[in-house]
């Protein structure tokens, strides 16, 4: 009989267990990590990281390091993990193989698992026939009928095998999801899942149950795609005679068109957002709003504020839409509210000291309201630091000369320049808007940017006239 852990009697422990099979930490995993961290903090518990690296064919070199680095950059700290150790190390599944082998053999001894010798060819043919008959793709139990003594003899003789879960043919397996309520599965529809692969590595199902139990995980908070796997895990807990953790399955992030978040439509790696100049606190704030609402509808808040108000039962089951434009808006709000000195340092560091801090401070008031990411500082302000080397479109030099004539003799102040250029344009029979646009293009290289006359003031007369002289003779 499987028992639920009485979480009132023990310290709350949550975890995420990413697989190092991608370029970096997926933004969806960052969302799950945030919920796990906040829940642990809310309950004075621990948040840990475990690396599930048993799928050896899909490992990406450097992925683990990037995952841990992204979590650190986001500001989601863990108290145990492969990088800092802890009382239950090692925290990489590839370093715990004897443990999985031991427990898999224990299940066989108890009759809750069995050796399977089916070849890949036979399994492929089996699934093909099931598909043709419109049957669910499940193992047909052929090797379940082999006497244990015979199976062990075949193993001893070196025959290739896997170990499968022996799921009961009748009954139901149920659990209470903290977010979704009661969920039940008919055992007859649960597959005899492979637990230990022929290479000695565990599948997710065996590894996650053993590690969560040994590491004292009290709450398993993960994506909804694992709901169908949960009955297999509950059966394993029951077969081992272990207490059951509490489960909560959060909805997966979606694109605005409701399709599953994928790199074909959106950046999916946390590192992508860092490179684009998003702030970690803005990303966390936005992720917090994916399926949970701050009381009173507050949109801008810190993780510490979230911890204070969070209740996992308040998470919604509707598919949350991850809209990069909404994230850009939120990031812009953070940039505008940030202390000036801190923002200057962020810009200085983001561009690897390319821009002088003193100059950043001078031009920041002209571009800050328009910036939504740190990267956009370059788009908006690069012309303050160097002359444009290209232009959005060809320059109308005749129109540009109207500004040149006005700027050569006028006082170098906003009001004086504006009056001189307007008067010069009126004398030439040209619209002021067109004259100013040509001047902007010549000085900045672009048709859109920060306030023009304030920009000319900051650049200074000598620099502006120097740039104009490269385009027209005067």
d(C-alpha 260, C-alpha 252), whole Å:
8
CB distance 443 to 381 below 8 Å: no
Q: Which two tokens stand for residue 130?
A: 């099931």
Helix (H) or strand (E) holding 377: helix 376-381
Reduced to 3 states, what is the DSSP secondary structure of residue 81? Answer: strand
Reduced to 3 states, what is the DSSP secondary structure of residue 329? Answer: helix
Q: Measured in Å, how far apart are the chain's first and last C-alpha atoms?
A: 93
- Which one of the listed residues 110, 128, 129, 263 is annotated catalytic? 263
Neighbour count for residue 400 (Cβ, 10 Å): 20
Could you give the strand order of the β-sheet that contains 162-165, starting from the edge strand earlier in sequence?
A: 113-116, 162-165, 194-196
Instruction: Give the relative orientation of helices 230-240 and 97-110 as an angle to the nearest 10 degrees.
Output: 70
Of 123, 169, 110, 114, the C-alpha closest to 143 is 114
Of 236, 242, 237, the C-alpha closest to 163 is 236
d(C-alpha 389, C-alpha 401), whole Å:
20
d(C-alpha 384, C-alpha 458), whole Å:
8
d(C-alpha 102, C-alpha 424), whole Å:
89
Of 386, 387, 364, 388, the C-alpha closest to 376 is 364
CB distance 188 to 260 below 8 Å: no
Q: Is 357 a known active-site residue?
A: no
Q: Which two tokens stand for residue 456?
A: 């000319």
Neighbour count for residue 92 (Cβ, 10 Å): 16
For the CA atoms of 42, 43, 46, 49, the dihedral, rounded to the nearest 10 degrees, stands at -60
Neighbour count for residue 229 (Cβ, 10 Å): 16
d(C-alpha 343, C-alpha 377), whole Å:
11
Backbone angles phi, psi at 216, to 5 degrees: 70, 30
* Residue spans of alpha helices (H) in 26-171: 27-42, 63-74, 97-110, 120-132, 148-156
Backbone angles phi, psi at 196, to 5 degrees: -125, 125
Residues with catalytic function: 263
């Amino acid at each position: 009989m499987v028992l639920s852990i009485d979480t009132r009697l023990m310290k709350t422990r949550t975890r995420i267990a990413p697989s190092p099979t991608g370029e970096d930490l997926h933004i969806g995993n960052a969302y799950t990590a945030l919920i796990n961290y906040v829940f642990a903090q809310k309950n004075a518990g621990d948040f840990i990281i475990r690396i599930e690296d048993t799928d050896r064919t899909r490992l990406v070199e450097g992925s683990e390091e990037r995952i841990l680095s992204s979590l650190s950059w986001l500001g989601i700290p863990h108290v145990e993990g492969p990088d800092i150790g802890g009382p239950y190390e090692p925290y990489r599944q590839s370093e715990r193989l004897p443990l999985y082998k031991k427990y898999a053999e224990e299940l066989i001894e108890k009759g809750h698992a069995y050796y399977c010798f089916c070849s890949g060819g036979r399994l492929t043919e089996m699934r093909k026939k099931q598909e043709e008959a419109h049957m669910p793709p499940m193992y047909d139990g052929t090797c379940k009928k082999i006497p244990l003594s015979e199976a062990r003899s075949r193993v001893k003789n070196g025959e290739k095998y896997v170990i499968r879960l022996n799921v009961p043919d009748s009954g139901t397996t149920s659990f209470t999801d903290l977010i979704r309520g009661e969920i039940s599965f008919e055992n007859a529809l649960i597959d005899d899942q492979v637990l230990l692969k022929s290479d000695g590595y565990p599948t997710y199902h065996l590894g996650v149950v053993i590690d969560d139990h040994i590491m004292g995980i009290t709450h398993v908070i993960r994506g909804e795609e694992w709901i169908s796997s949960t009955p297999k895990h509950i059966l394993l807990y029951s077969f081992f005679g272990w207490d059951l953790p509490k489960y909560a399955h959060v909805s997966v992030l979606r694109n605005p068109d409701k399709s599953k978040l994928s790199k074909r439509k959106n950046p999916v790696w946390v590192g992508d957002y860092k490179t684009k100049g998003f702030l970690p606190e803005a990303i966390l704030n936005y992720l917090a709003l994916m399926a949970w609402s701050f009381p009173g509808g507050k949109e801008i808040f810190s993780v510490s504020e979230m911890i204070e108000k969070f209740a996992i039962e308040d998470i919604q089951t509707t598919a949350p839409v991850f809209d990069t434009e909404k994230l850009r808006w939120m990031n812009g709000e953070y940039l505008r509210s940030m202390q000036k000195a801190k923002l200057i340092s962020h810009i200085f560091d983001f561009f690897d000291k390319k821009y002088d801090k003193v100059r950043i401070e001078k031009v920041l008031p002209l571009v800050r309201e328009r910036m939504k990411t740190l990267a956009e500082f370059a788009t908006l302000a690069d012309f303050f630091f160097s002359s444009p080397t290209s232009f959005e479109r060809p320059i109308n030099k005749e129109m540009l000369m109207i500004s040149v004539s006005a700027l050569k003799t006028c006082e170098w102040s906003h009001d004086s320049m504006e009056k001189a250029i307007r008067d010069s344009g009126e004398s030439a029979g040209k619209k002021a808007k067109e004259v100013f646009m040509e001047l902007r293009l010549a000085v900045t290289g672009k048709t859109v940017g920060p306030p023009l006359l304030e920009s000319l003031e900051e650049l200074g007369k000598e620099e502006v006239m120097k740039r104009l002289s490269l385009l027209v003779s005067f």
